Amino acid sequence: MYWDRSTETMERDTLESLQLERLKKTVEAASRSEFYKDRFSSNNFDPAGISSLDDIRRIPFTTKDDLRESWPYGCVAVPKDRLVRLHSSSGTTGRATVIFHTAHDLDAWTDILARAMYMTGMRESDVFQNMMTYGLFTGGLGFHYAAERIGALTIPAGAGNSKRQIQLMKDFDTTVIHIIPSYALHLTEVFEEVGVDPRKDTSLRIAFLGAEPHSEKTRQKIQEYYGVDAFNSYGLSEMNGPGVAFECPEKQGMHIWEDNYFVEIIDPDTLEPVREGDEGELVLTTLRREGMPILRYRTKDLTRFVPGPCSCGRTHRRISRITGRTDDMLILKGVNIFPIQIEKKLMEIPGVGNNFLIILEREGYNDLMIVRVEVLREFFSGNLKQLEQLRRKITEELRSDILITPRVELVEPNTLPKTEGKAVRVIDNRKD
């Protein structure tokens, strides 16, 4: 039942000593990177001065902007020839943040993700179909190598191509899938279309749902339709990717592997820790990464600690389902999108007016982004062809930037609602 019993069930004080030992090493390693060297000296922080876990609070936070500004190699703490792979965050908000790994880092990541998958009941006899994008995104290769480490037959199916996904499931008796929850809902329509009932016609038994927020209701729908046991998988590329926190069979929160990550939950305004059990922003520190250690990373994800020990016997603390973000990042079909990206792109296109609105809808099982754009009055003078050309141009420009095809609707100037103060740019009507 355990992949690594002694680590997973380690007494808290032993676990904390291990964390302290690894934190000291991590801080020392970080000080060899250009970025942290500067950060430490400008904050008068002595990297040798960590003598308790509480001392972590003397280290300044790291943000996504810090990573962007130190792009590409500013946070790398080892000679470049020791790096063997890079990954980046999904979405294309400006310059994607890039994370570099040594062979040791990849090995440790694979191990904790295998630990998580094993925890849910996956074994070497399983057939694992990974329905995530392979490439820079961490959900592809990350899960792939972890599944192989468990010894399961691993199908690198990649994302999309729904009919082929179903065919693969049937042909090779797939038992475990890794899938984006919104895609899992969409795929139910394709199952209907091809007349395959996953409960009767496939051997599916476990699903890992990750990469985007989803509700308990969505999990239940997926469990019911597919006839699987579905587990929430949380991660972010800055902290390797998947494997950071994962549900055990109790499904009362996700265990964070604290031998690999130091966890804090802070009030995003005061930056002080919240009271145990209160909601706040998750802040993570890598404890085992040598290529690119990251200290006190502000994930912007909101969650809380689930109090008390878990009845599964694992001692690593749990966090609740992610309830939102402190910034305005949207996640659509697993792709991260910031409204500012859309604004920037729109404003570059001649003919676009002053206001726009993003509306997210769920159509059947599909998530849809509608971008309603005010355009100059002259486009409404009767030449419909010109208007349609502009609509196509906007659609194409946005698609190439955010990687998702929005439904673009053009409206006359001054027709979109105006708000006093901060503009409301996004209306999210996606409900379960």
Cα 327 to Cα 241: distance, rounded to the nearest angstrom:
20
Residue 98 or 236: the one with the smaller Cβ distance to ligand AMP is: 236
List of residues contacting ligand AMP (CB under 6 A): 89-90, 138, 210-213, 232-237, 241, 299, 301, 322, 325, 331, 336
Pick the piece of the chain touching Zn ion (CB under 5 A) from 313-321, 327-335, 377-385, 402-410.
313-321
Residue 20 or 67: the one with the smaller Cβ distance to ligand AMP is: 67
Name residue 151's beta-bridge partners: none
Sign of the Cα pseudo-torsion (28, 34, 35, 37, in order): positive
Sign of the Cα pseudo-torsion (278, 282, 283, 288, in order): positive
Judged by beta carbon distances under 5 to 8 A according to partner kind, the member of Zn ion, ligand AMP, none in contact with residue 212 is: ligand AMP
Pick the piece of the chain touching Zn ion (CB under 5 A) from 100-108, 302-310, 339-347, 397-405.
302-310
Q: Is 250 in the site for Zn ion (CB under 5 A)?
A: yes
Residue 159 or 408: the one with the smaller Cβ distance to ligand AMP is: 159
Residue 31 or 89: the one with the smaller Cβ distance to ligand AMP is: 89
Task: For residue 165, give the H/E element and its range.
Answer: helix 162-171
Task: Yes or no: say if 56 and 271 are a contact pair by the CB < 8 Å rule.
Answer: no
Judged by beta carbon distances under 5 to 8 A according to partner kind, the member of Zn ion, ligand AMP, none in contact with residue 31 is: none
Q: What angle in degrees, to the nearest 10, is found between the helix axes of 103-119 and 138-150?
A: 70
Residue 19 or 182: the one with the smaller Cβ distance to ligand AMP is: 182
Cα 222 to Cα 183: distance, rounded to the nearest angstrom:
10
Rounded least distance, CB 215 to ligand AMP, Å:
10
Rounded least distance, CB 324 to ligand AMP, Å:
9
Q: Is 306 in the site for Zn ion (CB under 5 A)?
A: no
- Which of 310, 370, 416, 426 contacts Zn ion by CB under 5 A? 310
Closest residue by Cα to residue 170 from 147, 194, 151: 194
Q: Is 248 in the site for Zn ion (CB under 5 A)?
A: yes
Closest residue by Cα to residue 261 from 327, 324, 317, 325: 317
Question: Which strands make up the sheet holding 229-236, listed edge to edge?
Answer: 153-155, 127-130, 176-179, 206-210, 229-236, 241-247, 254-256, 318-319, 305-306
Residue 228 or 248: the one with the smaller Cβ distance to Zn ion is: 248
Interaction site with Zn ion (CB under 5 A): 248, 250, 310, 312, 314
